[in-house]
Every structure is written in C-alpha cells, then in structure tokens.
Structure 1
Amino acid sequence: MRPRVLLVSSEAVPLVKTGGLADVITALALSLEEQGVEATILLPGYPAALRGASGLRKVADLSDLPGGKGELLQGYMPDTGIPVLLLDTPQFNQRSANPYVDHSGNEFDDNAVCFAALAHAAVKICAGQTRFPVPHIVHSNDWHAALIPALLKAKGLHHIGTVLTIHNLAFQGNYSAELAPELGIPSEMVSEDGMEFWGKISFMKAGIRYADRISTVSETYASEILTPRFGNGMDGVLRQRKDALVATPNGVDLQLWNPGSDTLIAKNYNNDDIRGKVVCKRDLQKRFNLPLQPFARIVALGSRMTHQKMADVVLDALPALLEAHPTMQLAVLGCGDHQYEQKFLELAANYPDRVGVRIGYDEDTAHALHAGADILLHASRFEPFGLTPIYSMLYGTIPVCSRVGGMCDTVVDAGLEGAVDRGATGILFDGESVEDVHAAVSRALELSIQPAVWKRMQTDAMMCDFSWKEPVSRYIRMYAEIAQPEAAELFRASLMPAAANATHIIERRSSENRIA
C-alpha cells in the first residue's frame, strides 16, 4: 500500500497552462510518484483537458454540485502517465481559451460556482462517494481549490489531512456572501472567524483558516505575506495561523528544462560547452524577425503583461534603453492586459529592426526564448517564486529581476556596480521606477561585453540545483505530520532513496493502456 495524495488545481501541463502553476503541479505529481507516493491531479474538465488526457473513463456521476450535475472522469496525463481526474460540467465545458476570463479580459460570471463545484467534487472523493480511492492528503492549490479544507471540516472528514499552497495571494476568489447557499457553504462558516472577508466570502481565506498546513513557494514570500505591503489584506489571518505556515520552494522538471537535451531548441548545449547558444540566438532572431546580428545583445521578456509584472514601468523604460544601447535587441513573449499588449506592439512598430513581439504563449517559443537570449528582464512588484528566471539561468541567460519574493532566494546578485563576486547568477534591483529598470538592464548589458565575467556568471547559473529533490522531501514530511498514524508511516517510508521507489511509476505508466 502506498500513501495517496490528491492534488487539486485549476491547471496543469500539458492539459491547460496560463502560468507557472501548471508547470509546478505536474512536476510535483511526477516527483511524488517517483518517490513512491500515489499522486493524482484533480482538474476542471475544460475542453482542452478532455481532449488531451488519455484513457478517460467515468468513475462517478455527481448530481448535486453547485451549478448542477457533473461527471468525474479518470485518465492519465499524456507522456508521463500521471493519474488525472477531470470534473466535467457544462460550465467548465464552455471555457475554451483562458480558464478564468473571457476574450475581453473580464472574469467569468460563474467562476465562484465552477470552482465551488470542483471543491465539492474533491469532498465527495474524500467521503468515498466515487469509485476512486480515498486520499490520505488533499493538497489544494490557490484560491480555486481553497474551499476544500473548509468543506471537509464541515463534513466531519477530519481524518483527511489538508494543505493549501498559496502560489499567488493577490488572487483570492472573493464573492458576494449572498452566494454562500448556492455554493454549498455552511452559514456558520460565513463569519469573521471563518471565511468572511470585508463583507464577502473568500475562497482564499477559507483555505487559510481551515487547512491543516499553509505553504508558500519561497522563504522570502512566506515572510512578506505576513506584512501589510504583500499580504493583500490577508496578513492578519495569516499571522494568526503563523504556526501552520511553512515555506516549500518549487522545483523544476529538469527533463523538460535542460539545454543539454531539450528537443524544442535549435541546438543543445551545456555549461561545459555553451557554443550551441549562438545557434539558438540566431533561431530566436529569426522567430522574432530581428536582424541576424551575432554580436547583438538580446534582452528577453517572457511573462504576463500586467501591473504585477511592472509592464507599465518596463514600457516606459525600454525606449531609452534601446537608444542608449545600439546593440540591444528585444524579444517579447506574453499576454495579459490589452492596454499593455497594444503598447508592446506599438514599441515593435516604432523599432522594427530592434524589437520583436509575440502576443500569446507557446512552449516552443518559450524554450527558444530562454535558449537564445542573453538577458532576461523580469520586473515584478511582487513574486511568490519566479520560475521564469530559473528557466533562464538553467539556459545560461542572465536574469535581471526585482528584489522581491522567491527571486531573492534563487538569484545571486552581481550588484549594480563594482566587481562581480564568484557565484553571481543575475542582477537584482530595488524600486519600481524607470530609472531602477534602466540602471539594472544597463548593468547587465555592460557585463555582457566582459567575456570572462559573463561566461562565469552563465556557468554558475547553469550549475544551480533547482531540482525537485529537496522540495518533494519537504512536502512528504509535511504530509506525514498531518496524516493519520498509519498513513504517516507510509509517507515517512517513502522518503527512502527515489531509486527504491522508481518501479512504482514505471509499472503505472506501462499499465496505463491496460487499465484504461
């Protein structure tokens, strides 16, 4: 018998992705499986997810969910064979592009109902009302799944350990308290001591208030969210539950993000021989219709175009940077607020030989961006973890980042002036002004023409250990702390070397078609 964890999320690669959360969920599930833990991902049944999952079969009819009936389907992630459960409802089935907002960028009116239904489906699994095995731990991720700990407590299912991971506290799922009956929320929980938040009900507060453990994705962010500046109004309730708050940094799937074996880049390379990066630069220039200039310095932006990511400041800073550094080229990949998307396109029109912009996201271009660029600009007003700078470091692309959140824990700062110490892997800057961004990017461009210094920074960045080995061990130890005694022993036993457990996932993958 193996310990069982149900990971509940709104997205997971490759079925649906809008950001780093999707990468994290699938990589965590895979790492847990490799460690001998039976990990299953519960997702909404978006059309793309229903098309992408393999071996789907119905395991339950759920007739009394918020919003109506639904079906629970069991299948597997393509390629990895990770078990996945999809909640198929008419509401989720209408979501084609972004799972949270419509084509105008407005939040779907039925988000509260949809994600409440996901939470109730998880509770039914835990109550043994489906043909799927009852998990020992339910691991909820962000506000979309944060109702689950509260609903489990309301149903008296105290034997199921609960974890809420906060990937981004700015998104909270706050809705009118009048919706509580429709969402299946007990009236006694709609209180200041429960999930009431400034006259509304808050999915995020429900998770913070009722989960056995609350985790965040970096040490620095765990400290920041206890303060009014970064707490988004939740700092008070988080301070009340400080003893339950832990920091568990994310890892990276090094099979997917590895320049030495990446099949999505123009030429493979590694920290011992990075000459392939020249070929990748040429490929990136072609993709973004930039002149094929080998000595150009490509600055990349690959993130959401939002206020959080300081898109307003970056847009104001870029023209002066382009004028001050004639060899600088700019490659932009991302989407977000329409006003920012339009301004990036206008920048490209104003500098057609210097700036390339692609609105949207695809994995091929993302990998090409990290492999071909020299510098990554990743400004942010707050950043719980920051996967994008880690991807860039693994590919020898030096990140220029705001000194906030997880980037403080992962990027070793070279400083804005003076000699660069051994071990530096990027540049961190304080502040949110045009001048702050200009100074940091200019510093990176100046260092990039110092071959010995730059090569050392690239090599040190590529050698950093961002694997899941330590993070997954932390999660398993946390699961053991909150599981029932018999399950706790199973979790502790799974902490043996991964090789001793590898047969579990091999057997699961080889039997995928047979089970389906």
Structure 2
Amino acid sequence: MTGMALAMGTAGQDVQVLLPAYPGVVDGLSRARTVARLPDLPGGPATLVRGHCRSSGLRVLALCNDALYDRVSPYVDGEGKEHPDNALRFAALSHAASCIAQGLPGLDAPHVVHAHDWHAGLVPLLMHAAGVRGVRTVLTLHNMAFQGAFDMAWADAIHLPRIYRNTQHAVAWDRLNFLKAGILHADRVTTVSHHYAQEILTPAFGCGLDSVLASRGDALIAIPNGIDAHEWDPARDPALGEDRYSARDTRPKTRCKAVLQHAFGLHAREDSVIMALGSRLTHQKMADVAVQALPRALDAHPRLQVAAIGCGDPAMEAALAELAQRYPGRCGVHIGYDETLAHRLHAGADILLHGSRFEPFGLTPLYAMRYGTIPIGSRVGGMVDTIRDPGQEAPLEAMRCATGVLFEGDSVDAMTAAIDRTLCLQQRPALWRAIQRNAMTANFSWDHAVERYAALYRDLVGDLAEAVAPRVAARPKPSSLLALPAPGLADDAIPAAA
C-alpha cells in the first residue's frame, strides 16, 4: 500500500515504510545508509537501511538479508510455488517491526505500527509478547483468502514464544496462522471496503476466521482503499501520448481504441466494441467462467472484440490463448503484465469484464472508470460500494445515474447476461455517455481514506496520552510505521504475486 503511504505523507502525516530489501530496493533509495543491525532475527542477522525512494520521496526502512529476500519474485519461485521458507522470511519482517517499536538507537519509535495482511500479521503479537507500551498497532486485511498458514514445526525457527503456540493466539487448524495472530492482537483491525467488512463476518467469506473476527467486532472497522488519481488519469497519462482525454472531451478515446486494436491484433474497425479483461487469471477472478462466457458473447455480438491481459493459472492462460486462435482479429491476449499496456487497455476499451468470487476492494474497475471504460463486476465486496448499478429491474432511465453493471453469482449464464445487458446500454449513445461521465468523475482517490486513517491514528494515540504524555506532547502528529511485505499490494493486481 505504498499509494496510501504517499497520500498520507502528502497530507502531512509522519510516515515511513518498512519492507524487505528485495532486489533493487536499496538501489532505488537516495541517501541510503545503515541505521541498525539486528543480529537475532529469524533467518539470521539483518541490517536496516534507511533512505528516500528516488521516484516518490517516500521514507523507507529496508530490511536487508540477501539469504531471505534476494529472490526473483517476492512470494513464489519460478514454478509459481510459494517459497518454502516464507514463514521465516515474513517472521523476520515482523520481528524487525517489533524491534523498531521497542526502540533502536538512532531510530525514533513510532506512535503506531500499521501492519498489512498476513505477511506482517505477527507484528501485533510480537509487540504484545515484548510488552511494548506507548505504541499502538493496526492490522489491515486486504484478502482473507491468504492467511500465512504454516506447519507448527516452524514455531522455533520464527522465534514464536511458547505461550503463544495455541488457538488463543496464533494457531488455527493445528497450523501457525499469521493472520489470526494479527487479528487477535492488533489494537484495531481494518479492512478495505464496507461491504467486505460485513462479508468476512460470515462463513462464506471469512475463510474460517469469521468467528475470530466476530470476537474482535468492537475493533473491526472499514476504511475503503483509494487509487492514485494522478497515475490513473487519461488527461495526463504519458502512456497515451498525444491521445489524452478527459470527461469533458472523450473524442481521443477513439484513437486510443485504434492503438489498442493494433497492439492486440484486432481488426481495425471503428464501430467495434472492445471488452477488456485485466486481472490475475485465477479461480477468485472467475477466469474459468470468463473463458466460457466469452465465446457466447463473441458469437452473439458480431461487433464485439476482446482484449485480455493477465497471468496466473496455466490452464486459464492456455484457454485464453486458444480463444484468441479461435477468433482471430476479434480476440487478442497478452499473457503476463506490462504497465504501459495496462494503461492503454483501459484507455482504448469500451467495457471492462471483472468477475470475481470475492473482491475485498476492486482496484481495476476504478482504473477503468477513470478512463471511461465501463466495468461489469460481480456484486461482491468493494465492487458493491464503488460500482453504482440500479439493477436490471429498474427503469432504463435509472441507468443515467449508473457507473457500471453488476451481476449476481458465478455462473456462465449470469456473466453472459451481464455482457448482453451492457452491450444493449452501449447502443444508446446518450445514455452511455452519461454512464461514462459518472464513472470518470467519481472520486475514489486516497483523500477520503487518508482522513479516516489519520483520525484512527489520532484516536489511538489519544488513548495513550496518560501513559506516554511527554512523548505525545513532543510529537503532536502521530507517526506511523507501515510494515509491508512488498513495494505495493493490491487485492486485484495483475502480477501473480499479489
């Protein structure tokens, strides 16, 4: 969540980010210098290097241990399998955060340590075990499906105190569970959308931890994510060259469509309707449903073209590639991820297909909306909060207030019907333009989230006023350390590591 850290820094919050020193991280820092040595971390001695990100100016603490972090991919090996020592790698990150919170020479302890997902889930527990006073903890849940579950045999290696090796603290289903540890010990638990906050309290979406979350109901709050409204802005996007456009004038989007058609080998037809797919090709993202719904849609709508970018399940990658061969000139597929191509995808397409069996927030539909590309999404999680759809039973004119189309369930029929409905809307130019304008002018920037997080930090620091009055008085603005597993996380990012 580097976007969050940048937005908070811009808003005047005192923020620095702790992350593993993956390849290139230290090289990307200006004024980098070693500020601490940590000899007793899981996985061996490590150092903390402090600097400023050259591209953003963000203050960074990089945890350096090449044996743990000098990997091509942060989470998985070349075959897409999780690194077998991930328990060790991310326990080291959590211990480092705990050490910083306890105070290290030359480093001010923060007021708040903000951990993200299971990768930093041990932080609140370790601070509890160390008896840290005067520092509060926040854990943000981005995706309950990934919990950091490991064999109990790792307990000694990750330096987990014995009194915490039970179901009251860090064990679920006879395995260590980093996420459960964080949920039980954080002062506050946040998640990234209002609807997802409700869903995860149910067995269908809680992934086995719904009762644990319910036990922390008084500490669980929803603070919706945001997007970088400057990076994802068709009026200033360098990826579009001279074909930039805005909600006031979308005419250059036609040229963006021609560029996209060329890039994906699609027929150069001005009257075509391009539907984009841009997400991980996984069961969560309904890739298995999409590869069945797309042929139906292509057969039923001769003007429809499909441009897909993504990677993930090899079977889904192969199915999409086969679809491109079956519909030459009408379906183009790029397996992998390319940042520039992703921007051009949103700029040139008319529609985004973004089915999902669960969706904590849903970034990709918001990127598409910024570019006047109308999302078709599942009625789950954050998409319920961000995609406005009066519903297919509402009068057609009600869609003048819409920003996209939602569908229920995960069946091929439901997805196909949503595509059909959207294409019918697209044939009504005035109505479609109204939906585009609504989508492009909706505000999903980090501004609102930053205000909520700043208020949360202030509340937490206020709770500590009596215990640490001198320190709080000396630094009236709460400082925070964001413990992150990677340079950036997104619940629907295309890279397979997300």
Question: What secondary structure does 1:273 align onto?
Answer: coil
Distance 1:490 1:440, change over 3 A: farther
Q: Given the alignment of the two structures, is residue 26 of structure 1 paired with residue 2 of structure 2, yes or no?
A: yes
1:192 to 137, 157, 167: 167
Tell me the equivalent position of 2:192: 217
Checking the alignment, whether the CA contact within 8 Å between 1:45 and 1:92 is kept in structure 2 is no
Secondary structure class of the residue paired with 2:277: strand
Question: Which aligned pairs between 1:374-385 and structure 2 lie closer than 5 A?
Answer: 374-385=350-361
Which range moves more in the overlay, 276-285 or 139-148?
276-285
Which deviates more from structure 2 when the two are superposed, residues 369-378 or residues 479-488?
Answer: 479-488
Are 1:91 and 1:114, in contact at CA under 8 Å, matched by a contact in 2? Answer: no
Contact 1:371–1:396 under 8 Å retained in 2: yes
Q: Give 1:62 shift.
A: 1.6
- Which amino acid counterpart does residue 391 of structure 1 have in structure 2? Y
Change (3 A) 1:489 1:400: farther
Contact 1:414–1:425 (CA under 8 A) maintained in structure 2: no
Provide the residue aligned with 1:161 in structure 2: 136
Moved more, 374-383 or 249-258: 249-258
Counterpart CA distance in 2 for 1:410 and 1:492 is: 34
The SS at the match of 1:41 is strand
Equivalent residues of 1:217, 1:247 under 8 A apart: yes
Once the two structures are superposed, residues 287-337 of structure 1 have per-residue CA deviations (whole angstroms, 9 ceiling, x without a partner) of 112122111111001100000001111111111111111111111111111
Counterpart position of 1:136? 111
Question: Are 1:253 and 2:231 an aligned pair?
Answer: no
Distance 2:397 2:205 in 1: 31
Letter in 2 for 1:419: L
Per-residue deviation, 1:448: 1.0
SS in 2 for 1:390: helix
Residue 94 (structure 1) shift: 3.0
> Hey, what's the Cα distance between the residues in 2 that align with 1:53 and 1:141?
22
Tell me which residue corresponds to 1:451: 429
Deviates most, 47-56 or 360-369: 47-56
Q: How far apart, in 2, do the equivalents of 1:26 and 1:491 lie?
A: 23
**Is contact 1:414-1:420 (8 Å) kept?**
no
Per the alignment, in what secondary structure is the counterpart of residue 406 of structure 1?
helix
- Alignment partner of 1:434 is 2:412: yes
Task: Determine which of 335, 338, 342 is the counterpart of 1:366.
Answer: 342
Partner of 1:67: 43
Distance 1:344 1:130, change over 3 A: farther
Matched, 1:122 2:91: no
Structure 2 distance, partners of 1:491, 1:45, is 29
| Alignment match, 1:22 | none
SS at 2:381 equivalent: coil
Residue type of the alignment partner of 2:192: V
Closer/same/farther in 2, CA of residues 427 and 491 from structure 1, 3 Å limit: farther
Q: Deviation of residue 414 (structure 1)?
A: 4.7
| Closer, same or farther: CA 414–281 of 1 in aligned 2, 3 Å | farther
1:477 and 2:452 are equivalent in the alignment: no
Tell me which moved more, 376-385 or 437-446: 437-446
Q: Which moved more, 1:419-428 or 1:71-80?
A: 71-80
CA distance in 1, matches of 2:294, 2:68: 39
Q: Distance in 1 between matches of 2:106 and 2:203?
A: 45
Partner SS for 1:333: strand
Candidates 468, 476, 479, aligned match of 2:446:
468
Aligned to 2:268: 292
Give a deviation string over 1:226-258, Cα, whole Å, max 9, x none.
000000000000000000000000111111111
Kindly tell me: are residues 163 and 447 of structure 1, through their superposed partners in 2, closer, same or farther at Cα, counting changes over 3 Å? same
Separation (CA, whole Å) in 1 of partners of 2:308 and 2:477: 46
SS of equivalent residue, structure 2 residue 98: helix
Q: Which whole-Å deviations, capped at 9, do the CAs of 1:350-397 have from their partners, x for residues lacking one?
A: 212111111111221111111111000000000000011111111100
Q: Which has the higher contact order (CA 8 A, sep 6+)?
A: 2
Q: Counterparts of 2:476 and 2:373 in 1: how far apart (Å)?
A: 38
TM-fit CA distance, 1:184: 1.0
CA-CA distance at 1:176 after TM superposition = 1.1
SS of residue paired to 1:238? helix
CA distance in 2, matches of 1:426, 1:383: 16
How far off its partner does 1:224 sit?
A: 0.3
- Tell me what 1:402 maps to: 378
Counterpart code for 2:210: D
SS of the residue aligned with 2:39? strand
Secondary structure of the residue aligned to 1:399 is strand
- Following superposition, the deviation at residue 345 of structure 1 comes to 1.2
Change (3 A) 1:130 1:297: farther
Aligned to 1:53: 29
Pair 1:161–1:404, CA change in 2 (3 A): same
Match status 1:423 vs 2:398: no
Cα contact 2:52–2:59 (8 A) shared by 1? yes
Q: 2: CA distance between counterparts of 1:490 and 1:248?
A: 28
User: Is the contact made by 1:66 and 1:182 (CA closer than 8 Å) also made in structure 2?
Assistant: yes
Mapped partners of 1:490, 1:447: distance in 2 = 58
| Structure 2 contact 43–68 (Cα < 8 Å) conserved | no
Query: Are 1:112 and 2:87 matched, yes or no?
Result: yes
Aligned residues between the structures: 470
Q: CA deviation at 1:26?
A: 1.7
AA aligned to 2:172 is F
Change in Cα spacing, 1:397 to 1:125, as seen in structure 2 (3 Å) is same
Judge conservation of contact 2:195–2:384 (CA < 8 Å) in 1. Answer: yes
Give the structure 1 partner of residue 18 of structure 2.
42
CA RMSD of aligned residues (A): 1.7
- Structure 1 residues 491 and 410: alpha-carbon distance in aligned structure 2, compared to 1, 3 A threshold: farther
Against the structure 1 CA distance between its residues 149 and 296, is the aligned structure 2 distance closer, same or farther, given a 3 Å change threshold? same
Cα deviation code 1:109-153 (max 9, x no counterpart): 010000000011111111222533211111000000110000001
Take 2:33 and 2:397, find their aligned partners in 1: how far apart are those partners? 57
Q: State the shift of 1:492 in Å.
A: 7.7
Q: Structure 1 residues 242 and 60, CA, compared in 2 at 3 Å: closer, same or farther?
A: same
Query: Gapped runs of 5+ residues in structure 2?
Result: 479-498
| Match status 1:171 vs 2:146 | yes
Higher deviation after alignment, 418-427 or 146-155:
418-427
Following the alignment from structure 1 to structure 2, what is the Cα–Cα distance between the partners of residues 265 and 414? 32
Report sequence identity in percent.
Answer: 48
